[in-house]
A and B are shown apart, each in its own frame.
Chain A
């Protein structure tokens, strides 16, 4: 899970007043630095730059540039081999990985099977407290109880090793492009703290110097001359400037100090397409937004709950909210995943429950009232530090007006505060939920969130039928067949609505006149290596 940066922009959101209606004039670009180096926005990494300890976008963007994993993802999210020569399996449980020969880290150490095996063992070891350790939990030997070796990783030779999983997982190779699976040089283990400050990788870029990471300011990356993989840089380097607010980054883009921006601030959503001419994107991203109504809440259990969830879902005018509140930068949801994921479809059986239908909503609500009359107020909890107020208010208003009940938002000051109440089941209202995919696969949107006792199953949903379909899909080797099973599982979700799907976030980005060939990846991060400048 890559977390989207903290909403520091919230304080300055009112800036809309000021910047509304500004046209992008002819701006000078003398602020930009050396030709060929792409200046782009980022945010201060929240953890040391260790692949298995980075789970947010600020650090992830840097790691993806300086490391190369077994596979990488193209713009569509398809996985292609990078360091791997081949990844083969017959039963989706044991995988044989062959590495390309002669690859090196930027300090000259060779990239071998051990680079992967040792890095993954480091990441998985319980006492190393790595934030992304859960990526290894399917590998044989992994334990949440005690320190244990990943016995499923076996070295065959310097360029070949095997991975044995606890049970078959057809989408496992697809996961291997995520940063947690990057290799580490042996020198990293001598002093992991120093490594996290100045990492040595094997990717298309490398740190410009030992102290290239200037905290809260920037990190400078230059091209790694020895990288010969498929992501060959078409520019001379990357300067990632850390911004505390997206507004400042956007001002820099307009002011000519920034080449590529991957997040347009809320205040400028109405104007950025005019400001930037044709230098912008607004495309669906692998981010799913919803809210969850746990079954334990009064009036939301059993049949009554099922009726009320469906009624609430049909009482929300998603089209209008995405248009008015988000200026068309969200796409109304028609399932529980995302359109950028292979296998996505908008024609699931039962998807009409996600369409605005006041009459049907009122009818279902009345039906539920016949079982037990509605009392109290319907509330959606959200964290006030993430810019959620506008849509929560719009959504609860839509519910209020359609169903004629009292509905409102329930803000909590920080994300941490809300998550604590959610994870300890103390929260007594519906609450905001969302998911940004770790890797481009349908399963990632479903298994971790709705399977019985799954880690991020915040609503404590449980349906044996769904569980059966999901685990069958996960072990099916044929991707098409697997996706069909996942879609069947989603149709169960559409009946039960363990979360009420709202919309998919779009990636909104822009770039300056200095650069060309800007394309955004499936994970909303630009494919920096493709960008040309000057």
Chain B
């Protein structure tokens, strides 16, 4: 097990270096001069523009710029934004917000999705099942910004149950509404996954054996059926957590959440290379860790799975 984890961590190193290089190259290759955009419709004096290009090393060839960036990282300097704020500080203030939002969304979609999926699967074809299917179909087919705007309008403006946008410091209470919106799409997927998996499992021999042994529903459903149905759902939840962690640009924009997605989007528009690369690097790291954790969880859910390397 420990060797397996070590192997996975070692694997991550070339992946990380490769991605930073690729992302840096892509930001570099973005056409246009981000400094010109700083001046709006006014054309800056060429002398000033030249000096600014020197300041941000924008006049250097790609490999030299990348070298500045890499050597900076080894000295703990991840670069600064145009406002002069160190990228590390930007990371430190945006990721916690997004992580909290992601955790909330994950709990909502996990608990509700598995619960509804389980009941649907057990009562296949009944009224609850068909209405759950209809709702999940609706949620899957609606684009997320429609759900977000509807939720904001209905719960924020009309009913006044929630703040329309996330307030200062992004308190948990304000994050609930955006978390529900984020959770809505995956909720539908989880319902369907759980349902299919439960239907498959409940007709398997060991379930019949369990009932035959005289075990009650209260024991068979959670321990025998649900646990064995959770592997595909866990995989989905895991990857989805990764997706949530790297920020939901649209939802964060609509609810004005000062998280990763909103900040990264602005940084891309401004062409702030260091910010973009640092964000993406952290995102890649998160993906790698989350995937490793999912793989390890398999063994917990299904003792037949063992890791050797």
Contact = CB atoms under 8 A, between A and B. Distances in A.
Nearest to A144: B47
A127 interface: yes
Interface in B140-185: 145-146, 149-150, 152-153, 156-158, 160, 163-165, 167-169
B269 A6 contact: yes
A22 interface: yes
B253 interface: yes
A3 B40 contact: yes
Contact of B253 (A12, A45, A134, A458): A12
A11 B250 contact: yes
Nearest to A41: B256
Contacts of A218: 168
A6 B270 contact: yes
Nearest to A420: B33
Interface in A51-77: 55-56
Contacts of B52: 129
A48 B82 CA distance: 8
A145 B45 CA distance: 11
B43 A423 contact: yes
A218 B170 CA distance: 12
A414 to B, nearest CB: 5
A122 to B, nearest CB: 15
B160 A28 contact: yes
Interface residues of A toward B: which range?
35 or more
A468 interface: no
Contact of A414 (B32, B55, B83, B157): B32
B265 A244 contact: yes
A25 interface: yes
B84 interface: yes
Contact of A251 (B36, B82, B152, B269): B152
Contact of A48 (B31, B83, B169): B83
Contact of B90 (A27, A45, A215, A419): A215
B171 to A, nearest CB: 12
> What does DSSP make chain B's interface, helix, strand, loop or mixed?
helix
A294 to B, nearest CB: 13
A161 B113 CA distance: 72
B200 interface: no
B47 A145 contact: yes
A131 interface: yes
A2 B40 contact: yes
A129 B55 contact: yes
Contacts of A19: 149, 153
Contacts of A214: 168
Interface in B30-55: 30-45, 47-48, 51-52, 55
A248 B250 CA distance: 11
A378 interface: no
A248 B40 contact: no
A15 B149 CA distance: 7
Interface in B201-215: none
Contact of A455 (B44, B89, B165): B44
Interface stretch (A341-349, A360-368, A397-405, A429-437): A429-437
Interface string A283-303: 000000000000000000000
B256 A245 contact: yes
B82 A458 contact: no
Contact of B153 (A18, A48, A436): A18
Contact of B269 (A22, A197, A385, A423): A385
24 contacts: A8-B265, A8-B269, A25-B157, A55-B38, A129-B48, A133-B45, A134-B48, A215-B85, A217-B168, A217-B258, A248-B253, A249-B165, A254-B164, A257-B163, A257-B165, A414-B30, A415-B37, A419-B32, A419-B36, A419-B43, A420-B33, A436-B40, A455-B42, A457-B43
Q: Give the top 9 A-B pairs by smallest Cβ distance, nearest first.
A: A417-B32, A3-B40, A255-B164, A416-B37, A1-B42, A416-B32, A419-B36, A248-B256, A18-B149
Given A217-B258, A420-B33, 13 more contacts: A11-B145, A11-B253, A12-B250, A48-B84, A126-B48, A131-B38, A197-B84, A251-B152, A251-B156, A416-B35, A416-B271, A419-B39, A457-B43
Interface of B: 30-45, 47-48, 51-52, 55, 82-85, 89-90, 93-94, 145-146, 149-150, 152-153, 156-158, 160, 163-165, 167-169, 249-250, 252-256, 258, 262-263, 265-266, 269-271
